[in-house]
Amino acid sequence: MKILERYIIRRTAFVFIMTLGAMTGVVWATQALRQLDLVTSKGQTVVQFIGITLLAMPFLLVIVAPFALMIALILVLNALSGDSELIVINATGGSRFLVLKPVMLFSGLVFLMAASMSLHLAPLGLAQLRDELTRVRADLVANIVKPGRFISVEDGLTFHIRNRSGNGTLEGLLLHDTRDEATAFTYQAENGQIIEAANRTLLVMQNGTIQRKPKSEGDISIVRFQSYAFDLSSLIPEAGEPVYKASERSTFDLLAPSADDAYANQHPDRLRTELHERFSQPLYCLSFALVVFAFLGRVRTTRQSAGLITLGAIACCIGLRTAGFGASAIAGTNPLLLSLLYVIPLGGAALALWSIVRSQRLHLPGAVARRAERLTEAFERLWARLTPSGTGHGAS
């Protein structure tokens, strides 16, 4: 590999990793907040919560990777042009393909990463996330014990807690049990915690009292305790077998679903669409790389044109991905439309490659270009006012 190729790949990789981390973090945060109430209701720690929600990270990376690659290539190619490195390459007789080769090599690596996640890691992570959420939904604390409310767990058994702390401790606990035919029990404790021990679920109460009152005539007896374990095993609902959606199934399961799989029999269109999406989504990495290079891979002379060309590259990439999302939404209704999942990214890549080979720069339509040019000029004037030192950089 030539020095120039290593140089471009190294710069692109650095920007790509930084961009991918930032974009994925933002998307992950928005998705994690949707599960915050459900997961923390079990009293899990922040580390456990992050571990559960990170199971969706491979799926998010598949979506974000093409856009992170687009941004990385735009920044690197603009930097090469702004530093006159493209001009030097052109002046020494180097062709556009001298720069295109490392761009496509790195894009191929991103494509392989996205493909491995799309076909294996993403569905595996989503399936494990489904298992965890199913387990949490079957938890007594998440669904029965509510702070500040008297909850009747079953006939003759009532719970009340004042508060539940972040580490799962139940504060101000009251438990009234009248299931015994002869005696009613009332448990009061300063705090308590639900733990798993010896395949049983126990409510361990600290610093409290037990009041025993005969249902017939008799005196109330009170027993104080420092620690008391109340068996909750019979009250814990069994976690049902999770039903995996199409995106949570392995690729092999999508290719050959079980004959007795109720979900697969009811929604064969969803499984079919998901299978083709997994194979088509990584193609946007290659498509975006060619589109960005078709716009920005040539030598240019002014900052103003750089703004318009960059806007054109971003608009085309976003347009391609939006069309892909639209095709995915309608493909389930007609199997023939599944070909659009491949035609859109491959068509965009073919058009960009044709433009590169013909040495023609892609550009925005006239009316859009004029509006974009005015917007770019206004932005540059605003930027010049905000950063007076930047006005000294003239057109190259």
Q: Cα separations (Å) of 243 from 99, 224, 283?
A: 48, 46, 30
User: If residue 26 lies in a helix (H) or strand (E), which one and from where to where?
Assistant: helix 3-34
Q: Report the alpha-carbon distance of residue 214 to residue 178 in Å, rounded.
A: 10
Q: DSSP letter at 236?
A: S
DSSP 79-95: HHHHTTHHHHHHHTT--
Report domain extents, the chain.
Answer: 3-137+244-364, 145-235
Q: Do residues 15 and 71 touch, judged by C-beta distance below 8 A?
A: yes
Which residue, among 283, 286, 279, 281, has the nearest Cα to 73 in the 3D structure? Answer: 286
pLDDT for position 373: 62
Q: Give me the pLDDT at residue 392, please.
A: 41
In terms of pTM, does the model score above 0.75?
no
10-residue mean pLDDT profile of the chain (396 residues): values are 84 94 88 65 62 86 95 91 76 76 94 95 90 66 66 79 78 88 90 79 88 84 90 64 84 87 85 92 95 84 66 91 90 80 94 83 58 62 58 39
**Residue type at position 386:** L
Report CA-CA distances (Å) from 174 to 26, 148, 160, 250, 327. 42, 11, 5, 46, 56
> Of the candidates 345, 327, 342, 328, which has an alpha carbon nearest to the alpha carbon of residue 287?
345
Which residues sit opposite 196 in a β-bridge? 201
**Res 236: pLDDT:** 60
Number of C-beta neighbours around residue 377 at 10 A: 12
How many other C-beta atoms lie within 10 A of the C-beta of residue 52?
Answer: 21
Please enumerate in sequence order all residues whose Cβ is within 8 A of that of 162, keeping only pairs 6 or more positions apart, or say none.
147, 148, 171, 172, 173
**Closest among 118, 136, 113, 108 to 51, alpha carbons compared:** 136
The Cα 159–Cα 153 span in angstroms is: 7
Residue 302 in tokens: 């002014």
Residue 390: what pLDDT? 42
Task: Give the CA angle between residues 149, 155, 156 to the nearest 5°.
Answer: 75
CA-CA distance, 364 to 36, in Å (whole number)?
A: 43
pLDDT at 94: 64
